[in-house]
Chain A
Amino acid sequence: MERQLQSPVPESKNLQRCINDLVSLLALPAVWSGSEPSQIVQSLLDALLRMLSLDFAYARLKDPVRTELIEILRLDVSRTLYMSQQDIAGMLKEWFRGDGQKSFQPLRTRLGDRYISIFPVVLEHQGDIGTVLVGAEREDFPGPTESLLLSVATKQASIALREASLFFEQKRMVDELERRVAERTKGLAAANEELRKEIAERKQAEEALRASERNARLIVDSIPGLVVRMSAAGEVEVANRQLLEYFGRSLEDIKNWTTCGIVHPEDLPRAIEIASNSFATGDPYEMEVRVRRFDGVYRWFQCRGFPLRDAEGRVLQWYALHTDIDDQKKVEERLRAIINTIPTAAWTTRPDGYCDFMNQVWLDYAGMTAEQAQGWGWAEAIHPDDREKLVDDWQSSLASGRPVDTEARIRRFDSSYRWFLIRANPLRDDLGNILKWYGTNIDIEHRKRGEEALRTRELSWRQIVDNIPGLVATTGAMGEVEFLNSQTLEYFGKTTEELKNWALIDTVHPDDLPPVIEARKKCIEAGLIYDVEHRCRRADGLYRWFQVRGLPVRNTAGAITAWYLLLTDIDDRKKAEEALQSNERNLSLMINAIPTHIHVLRTDGSVLSVNPMVLDYTGITLEDVQKEDYRARFFHPEDVERLREERWEALSRPVPFENEQRVLGKDGRYRWFLVRYNPLLDEQGRIDRWYVAATDIEDRKRAEAQVEQAYLRLAEAQRLSKTGSFITDLLADDHNWSEEAFRIFEFDPAVKVTVQMIRDRVHPDDLPTFDAVRARGMTGTDVDFVFRIVTTGGAMKHIRGLARVMAQSGSRPLFIGALQDITESKLAEEALNKTRSELAHVARVTTLNTLTASIAHEVNQPLTGIVSNASACLRWLAGDVPNIEEVREAISDIVRDGKRAGAVIARIRALTRRAEMSSEKLDLNETIGEVLAIVGDEAKRKRVTVRTQFANELSLVSGDRVQLQQVVLNLVMNAIEAMSGIGERLRELVITTWNIDADHVQAMVEDSGIGLDPNTREKIFDSFYTTKPGGMGMGLSICRSILQAHGGRLWATPKDGPGTSFHFILPRYHGDESNAAGSGA
């Protein structure tokens, strides 16, 4: 509005500026070309800030290139000094937190201490990119031109952002492509290089191959070994130059090497054997033989032959290499000579254990030749018992390369055996491969003998120990079992090994084990002599008592090195001790336990000793008992006084006597005791001691007193309870009455009672009942009876009684019975009944009071009809042509409505009537229906829908119409009230009736109300219990008593859904037969 009224000049200026701004905005894309999105947004915001004089400009967008969130806030510093950048940012964040869609409206909001107009613009181009928020303090912001500028600017920016995104996407793709091309090129170059290398290598390999071929010949010819090639059969086919030169023979000459004399005759047979063996099996061979040089000198050669096979594995040729080992052999010979001279048996073997050398000492000892001992022959000389072990040890050392260190007996040339320590070490090459084993055997016979002797000595000591008639054990310093003699093992029936765990295997009686362990631990720690008695388990499972004594053995430094333990069977002694102890114990137990007080008195009557019962009873010590005032203090003064003379006299005579005295107990009460005195006489027949036994006879005394009182009490009880008892022989008319029975009938107790006397007293109305009971009694059956009597004074009494057949007196039954004057309770009952119906009446009237409005309505409805109809009649009759037909109809309606009003009033009057309970034949459906007619309006007002589900063939019930209606009324009113608080739910009251069985009718009143608390479901039937603010708490309690009086019952159950169901059951009307009023006899 304001803008519209501005003068044209500033308006045109404005427009000019707007156009300028537009032009600069359109120029922006040129600036943005190639820029990053954040730069674009930044310059956009700056442009807007400047052009529109904004307070702030804010953008929030997804970076289209990097897909991260860009948030930029630009402030006009000169304007927004009043607020920090953080605060604005916080506010804007808040703006974004809400539903973005809804918030895209211009907004005037408080920012700091000012109001600011915020205008959101969406950055979008083929989809949402982000949002720009611009804010200015001006109230009319943004004006039309500003909106235009904003929209153009954001459009431009959107396009630029999109372009930037495309541009960067493109750039990224180009980069990616270049990277891939570079990668691929690099891969190709590498592959090329590989190929070149491979070719070079192959060339080299070929070169090498060619060279090696050339070399092979050279090597064969130049190696300092003699090489031949033989046929598969062993015929020499090719020999190298060295070989021919060495032997000084032609190839032809040595074709058959076995016969050409180059092998030393001594070695020939062996050589032939080895070689032909290999030729036959195809295995390589190796042997050392002497061969003759061209000059006739024999030198040792090592000859090795290898087969050359074809693809099928057939041997084609043999290559053999012969190496001069003569010098080496010579050294060996010398070494052997040294070895042979040392005074120790020595030997060497090949890596596989094949013995290739035994020195002379060995051979001499064993009386074997080198040949006999060679290989495995030496084993013959090992003692058969040791042989297997030795061979095993040897084999395992060969396999593992560990040095041998074992002992074995070796047979001497004279067939005696001596113990040797056999040791061997492997000789290894630089690579660790075993070349040879060197071993020595050292005679250790003397040491062995020593050991043996020691063992023998030990054995003999052991025999001694084993023969000690006790169990002996030794343990280490810490108690670990080391030795047990044979008796010990025998006793326990266990091995030494087992007994090392003696504490775990039930050797010591479980009861004794903890103290035994404790004692051992203590002794071992302190170095004390150990002496404990405990039970040990014999092999047969029997425990016997042992005395176990342990002595520590100390070394010279005083430290304990071992323990010697001697276990002595003391079971018999222990048993005897125990038996003795148990006898004593039994005796003292007996004395202590018998419930008799024992005193030992001196001749003067003073106390020498008492048993614990006395002390326990009196609660004093023996010292107190022995004091002079004991008797005065603890015996009843009356008894002390009464018996003083008598007791003195009796104590002076050596004859037993007894009396009864009261003794004071520690509870402060006297109890009666029968005290028996017995004199202990010495040889002269003089009294030495008195043994006095006192027995508690309090209970007996009390029982006596009780019996005495019992009769008195019974009479009193009969009087109080107004119950008389009697024993009657009806047929003989013989009656034995108690005092109270006489009193009830107001008979003179001196007079003998007869049936006629009783009958005269009986109320005339009850005579038939009385006679019937008497007749039944005469047949000998138990009877119960109720009748009234009228006393001579004219008072009426209600008598209730029973008589039971006690015995048969001859053929006549003898009754025992009781009769009670129940007049008072009868009167009370009647009063109670009266009060109850009074109360019911009050409750009824109270309920009706609350229904006044409803009742008034029930009456008003027909009255309204009557009045309206009557008025209408008057009009019609007053007309020119009276409408007789309408008048007739109206009047018949008036009659009907009048009757209806009368019925309502009659029902109310019935309910308010104060009447005693009566019984009539009732249709329960009808009875309920009448109640509903009264409460109909109340239900309507409380928005309650009433529904009935009445059984069609409902049996009739007998009862008091008013009282039953009161029950129904109460339940219905409760139901309506229970639903008054509920909101949405349907308020529905359903009354259902049905025949539950042949004899009963049930009714159910259901509501959809608040329901009952399960805890109070039963309480609601209690008097004065109420959940209603103004309730008396009598309604349901009265209802229940009404139903009980009808022989029915009333209860409540929760419903499946919301609400409560009240149920009541009434007995069916049975006609006259159920009229039980007269069957009181």
Chain B
Amino acid sequence: MRQAREPEAVIAIVDDDPSVQRGLGRLIRSVGWKAETFTSAQEFLARPSTEAPSCLVLDLQLPGLSGLDLQTRMAEVGLETPIVFLTGHGNIPTSVQAMKAGAIEFLTKPVDEKDLLRAIQEAIERDRRTRQQHATMRELRDRYESLTAREQEVMRQVISGLLNKQIAVELKITEDTVKFHRGHIMRKMRADSLADLVRMAENLGIRSRHLPART
């Protein structure tokens, strides 16, 4: 497990009970992660806007804003930090709600060390995946943005499966020009094949052109 961890993983603990706060904090630090503790949901939301933590260990019963409330609030602001819920006395409806809303795990106090650490680990991995996806998308979007308007237009025709000739007619340009644009597109998008380009377009949410009726 030790080898799997990211050196800079930060775990946020939100619990209003000092015993729990200190105990959990210490346990997490003993594994090698960084622990940040908060006594209320409000305090967590008001934390200095540094890098988001990799995981949030969240008590369900909090004074003021409850754990579930915080989960909802985070979803609203687009904070995707995975959550591990802790509760003194879990009940099924609450846990179902929390899980449906994307929680990693729903653990009952006093929590088993192994369960908690495994859940946190899972959260960290999910967080890393999410971050990677975000990075990939960002990269892809940057590449697409680097295309000229004409190239983007040609790309839309290309992924629609039109032949160079057809594209030429459609855009009222010569076939050579189409080929020229096509080469640029493949290079700039770093696409190995047309299939690759189509997948990228799909990821980018670019729709193929609506095909005109053929006579």
Interface residues of A (CB under 8 A from B): 853, 856-857, 860-869, 871-873, 875-876, 886, 889-890, 893, 896-897, 900, 937, 940-941, 943, 945
Contacts and interface: CB of A to CB of B under 8 A. Distances in A.
B19 A940 contact: no
A872 B19 contact: no
Interface string B41-71: 0000000000000000000011100100000
Given A861-B19, A873-B30, A876-B30, 18 more contacts: A856-B88, A856-B89, A860-B109, A864-B110, A865-B20, A867-B110, A868-B23, A868-B113, A875-B31, A886-B29, A890-B26, A893-B19, A897-B19, A940-B16, A940-B61, A941-B61, A943-B66, A945-B63
A857 B29 CA distance: 25
Nearest to B21: A865
A872 B25 CA distance: 9
Contact of A893 (B23, B109, B111): B23
Nearest to B20: A864
Contacts of B197: none
A102 B28 CA distance: 60
A602 B163 CA distance: 156
28 contacts: A857-B88, A860-B89, A860-B109, A860-B110, A861-B20, A861-B88, A862-B19, A863-B109, A864-B20, A864-B109, A866-B19, A866-B110, A867-B113, A868-B26, A868-B111, A871-B30, A872-B26, A872-B27, A872-B29, A872-B30, A873-B30, A875-B27, A875-B31, A886-B30, A893-B22, A896-B19, A897-B23, A940-B62
A937 B22 CA distance: 19
Nearest to B107: A864
Contacts, number: 89
Contacts of A876: 30
B113 A871 contact: yes
A886 B17 CA distance: 20
Top 10 closest A-B pairs, CB basis? A865-B19, A868-B23, A857-B88, A865-B23, A872-B30, A875-B30, A871-B113, A863-B110, A872-B26, A864-B110
A494 B89 CA distance: 110
Contact of A937 (B29, B86, B88, B110): B88
Nearest to A898: B19
B158 interface: no
Contact of A861 (B17, B30, B66): B17
B178 interface: no
B103 interface: no
B58 to A, nearest CB: 14
Nearest to A900: B19
Nearest to B16: A940
A866 B109 CA distance: 11
A853 B109 CA distance: 12
B24 interface: yes
Contacts of A893: 19, 22-23, 26
B99 to A, nearest CB: 20
Nearest to A856: B89
A924 to B, nearest CB: 25
A934 to B, nearest CB: 13
Contacts of B86: 864
A500 to B, nearest CB: 100
Interface in B114-156: none
Interface of B: 16-17, 19-20, 22-24, 26-27, 29-31, 61-63, 66, 86, 88-89, 109-113
Contacts of A856: 88-89
Contacts of A886: 26, 29-30
A943 B30 CA distance: 34
Contacts of A866: 19, 23, 110
Given A872-B27, A941-B61, A865 B89 contact: no
A864 B30 contact: no
Contacts of B19: 861-862, 864-866, 893, 896-897, 900
A741 B76 CA distance: 88
Contacts of B30: 871-873, 875-876, 886
B63 A871 contact: no
A896 B21 CA distance: 14
Contacts of A889: 26
A868 B29 CA distance: 11
Contacts of B31: 875
A841 B86 CA distance: 34
A869 B26 contact: yes
Given A856-B89, A863-B109, A867-B110, A937 B61 contact: yes
Contacts of B110: 860, 863-864, 866-868
A862 B15 CA distance: 12
B5 to A, nearest CB: 13
A631 B46 CA distance: 113
B26 A860 contact: no
Contacts of B88: 853, 856-857, 860-861, 937
Contacts of A941: 61
Contacts of B62: 940
Contacts of B29: 872, 886
* Max chain A Cβ within 10 angstroms of own Cβ: one of B29, B88, B110: B88
B24 A864 contact: yes
* Max chain A Cβ within 10 angstroms of own Cβ: one of B16, B26, B110, B111: B26
A853 B89 contact: yes
Contacts of B23: 864-869, 872, 893, 897
Contacts of B20: 861, 864-865, 868
A857 B26 CA distance: 21
A869 B27 contact: yes
Contacts of B109: 857, 860-861, 863-864
A865 B22 contact: yes
* Max chain B Cβ within 10 angstroms of own Cβ: one of A860, A862, A889, A941: A860
A893 B66 CA distance: 26
A732 to B, nearest CB: 79
A940 B63 contact: yes
A979 to B, nearest CB: 15
Nearest to A5: B213
Contacts of A865: 17, 19-20, 22-23
* Max chain A Cβ within 10 angstroms of own Cβ: one of B20, B23, B89: B23
A864 to B, nearest CB: 4
Contacts of A873: 30
A857 B89 contact: yes
A864 B115 CA distance: 13
A889 B22 CA distance: 10
A839 to B, nearest CB: 29
B89 A864 contact: no
Given A875-B31, A886-B26, A937-B88, A864 B111 contact: yes
A853 B87 CA distance: 11
A857 B61 contact: yes
Nearest to A944: B63
A848 to B, nearest CB: 15
Contacts of B27: 868-869, 871-872, 875
B136 to A, nearest CB: 36
Contacts of A896: 19
A12 B37 CA distance: 76
A993 to B, nearest CB: 23
A295 to B, nearest CB: 148
A940 B87 CA distance: 13
Contacts of A890: 26
A857 B63 CA distance: 14
B141 to A, nearest CB: 31
Contacts of A871: 27, 30, 113
B127 to A, nearest CB: 22
A399 B20 CA distance: 127
B22 A869 contact: yes
Nearest to B66: A943
A898 to B, nearest CB: 10
Nearest to A938: B61
Contacts of A937: 61, 88
Contacts of B89: 853, 856-857, 860
